[in-house]
Amino acid sequence: MIEADAVGFGYDDDRVLRNVSLRATPGETFALIGPSGTGKTTLLRLLALFEPPDAGTVRAAGTDAWSLSNGRRVATRRRIGMVFQNRSLFSTSVAHNAGYGLAVRRSWPDRARRWLRGLVGRPPLEESVADALETVGLREAAHRPARSLSAGEAQRVAFARALATEPDVLLLDEPTSNLDPRNTALIEEAVAAARERDIAVVVATHDMQQARRIADRVGVMLDGTLIEQGPTETVFGDPDDERARKFIDGELVY
């Protein structure tokens, strides 16, 4: 489970996030929607424990992550997978790319680096890597060079890299922006598979139909604040907040 409790954050003096509270429990998908620049990526970075909030608490598995020792926080961080928007792949094989997160998480950074430099021969395709590639529909492409992939396939490999680590929490930043309907559907199926595996998923998306399709709960972010959150049906069907309603109706809100 991952949780933000009254989180505040700013770059320099600008307050980017104010009093943000949300949680995603195992097997639950939480979608973050809202206009550009309202703090969705910033919030995902805090949930990924990249940096501490200025105010409030980020809890992983019920514990304030920033009250832990560095070692324990690193261990906690390893239970969290994050897929960035348009993250490029290493120019090695699909399998290397999908297995890289796993190698790093197992504290095999040397081995992972050697893999990347091609110093280790074709590694056995570990079950969790093969399984993750299967989940994103790329099992057959395991030994192809990653540079031969289309953008949609590359994004699915990035997703597989996170899945292969068998995380407790999966954070997805615009996982399907710029993808065609088929690649989008494959990513959405992989999100559903993550939910089946009891992973807590938080996904930022500009695609409101996608939020409707994949999320159990939705939060509407505006100007650094979650102005509305609740079950997907309620947020889309009968939001309390007037600005959330306008945003969902497709009006410009600031």
Ligand X SMILES: Nc1ncnc2c1ncn2[C@@H]1O[C@H](COP(=O)(O)OP(=O)(O)OP(=O)(O)O)[C@@H](O)[C@H]1O
| Candidate ranges 39-47, 54-62, 100-108, 184-192; the one touching Mg ion (CB under 5 A) | 39-47
Nearest one of 227, 221, 189, 225 to 205, comparing CA atoms: 221
Minimum Å distance from CB 197 to ligand X?
26
Burial 169-208 (b: 16+ CB within 10 A, else e): bbbbbbbbeebeeebbebbbebbebbbeeebbbbbbbebb
The Cα-based distances of 198 to 12, 48, 75, 78, 224 in angstroms read 37, 18, 19, 16, 29
41 is an interface residue for Mg ion by CB under 5 A: yes
Q: Shortest gap between Cβ of 47 and Mg ion (angstroms)?
A: 13
- Which does residue 254 bind out of ligand X, Mg ion, none, counting CB within 5 to 8 angstroms by kind? none
Nearest to residue 214, comparing CAs of 85, 79, 4, 33? 33
Q: Which is nearer to ligand X, 12 or 249 (CB)?
A: 12
Please tell me the distance from the alpha carbon of residue 91 to that of residue 215, in angstroms, as a whole number.
33
42 binds, among Mg ion, ligand X, none (CB under 5 to 8 A by kind): ligand X
Residue closer to Mg ion, measured from CB, 76 or 229: 229
Q: Minimum distance between the CB of residue 162 and Mg ion, rounded to whole angstroms?
A: 17
Q: Residues in the site for ligand X, rule: CB under 6 A?
A: 11, 16, 36-42
127 phi and psi angles, rounded to 5 deg: -60, -45
Distance of alpha carbon 36 from alpha carbon 244, whole angstroms: 14
Give least dist CB 10 to ligand X, A. Answer: 9
Q: Minimal CB distance to Mg ion: which residue?
A: 41
Smallest distance, Å, CB 41 to Mg ion? 3
Given the rule CB under 5 A, which residues bind Mg ion? 40-41
